[in-house]
Structure 1
Amino acid sequence: MTGVLAVCVAAGAAIGAPARYLTVHLVTGWGGRPSAGTLVVNVVGAFVLGLVAGARPSPWLVALVGVGFCGAFTTFSTLALELWQDLRERRWAAVAANLAATLGLGLGAVSLGWALTA
């Protein structure tokens, strides 16, 4: 069973990583800052993970979508880097707005996803 779940994680990640790249590219192509693309993928990923968690699906679906897709689609490390860059450049308002938006919208998105499937 562990081997099957590992394949599910890999398959989900193979979809999530390019989806993240394309989403961030699309958002920044519309004139948004790179941090706007990161915000979008993290909030959408939180919503999808909320849907999965609320539905309490089988282990293979958790591995495929929850761990694989959402793990590769969302990005904490990029958020941390973008916050660090804004801190270094003393863009305090950008740091505060990014943190507030990420946490507020992320929690709202995961709650909504959970509520829709629980």
Structure 2
Amino acid sequence: MTVLLVLLGGAVGAPSRYLIDRYVQRRRDGVFPWGTFTVNLIGCLILGLLTGSAHTLPAHVVTLLGTGFCGALTTFSTFGFETVRLLEDGSFREAGLNAVGGLILGTAIAALGYAVGAAL
């Protein structure tokens, strides 16, 4: 059952990542990877909410949404690739913003989600 829940969540998370990424990136100019940045922050918020409220949620919901959906929605490999690409292209400020900003904002948003989830 766990494998099916992860597959189902991933089947929704992966196309969601693509659609959100394309939607955001089409509306932003410049070299900064706003689409990937956005989906990773959304994933941090959802994972924070799930972790904070895990004591009240059934385990299958956490598996479906946390492991399946968020696992397919978020992407560390693309984050890393885009950061290196920015460095190789000489876009040092954007690379730093992507790496440091993503880590700081991602942690802060996950903590916020955790606090909200724990309060529910």
- TM-score normalised by L of structure 2: 0.90
Tell me the residue number matched to 1:55.
Answer: 53
Alpha-carbon deviations, 1:62-89, whole Å to 9, x = none? 2100000000000000001101111112
CA distance in 2, matches of 1:77, 1:93: 20
Tell me the equivalent position of 1:46: 44
RMSD: 1.2
Q: Determine the structure 1 residue equivalent to 2:34.
A: 36
Give the helix-richer structure, 1 or 2: 1
Identity of aligned pairs, percent? 37
2-side partners of 1:106 and 1:63: how far apart?
Answer: 21
How many equivalent residue pairs? 115
Q: Which residue of structure 1 lines up, in the alignment, with residue 13 of structure 2?
A: 16
How far apart in 1 are the matches of 2:114 and 2:28?
32
Mapping of residues 1-118 of structure 1, within 5 Å: 4-32=1-29, 33=31, 35-56=33-54, 57-118=57-118
SS of the residue corresponding to residue 53 of structure 1 reads helix
What do residues 41-68 of structure 1 show as CA deviations (whole Å, max 9, x unaligned)?
A: 0000000000000111222112100000
Q: Which amino acid aligns with 1:84?
A: V
Following superposition, the deviation at residue 31 of structure 1 comes to 2.5
Q: Name the aligned partner's letter for residue 43 of structure 1.
A: L
Q: In the aligned structure 1, how far is the partner of 2:28 from the partner of 2:102?
A: 19
User: Which ranges of structure 2 fall in alignment gaps of 5 or more residues?
Assistant: none
1:34/1:19 CA distance change after superposition, 3 Å: farther
| Matching residue's letter, 1:47 | L
Runs of 4+ in 1 over 2 A off after TM superposition: 31-34
- TM value normalised by structure 1: 0.92
| Separation (CA, whole Å) in 2 of partners of 1:31 and 1:112 | 26
| CA drift at 1:34 | 6.2
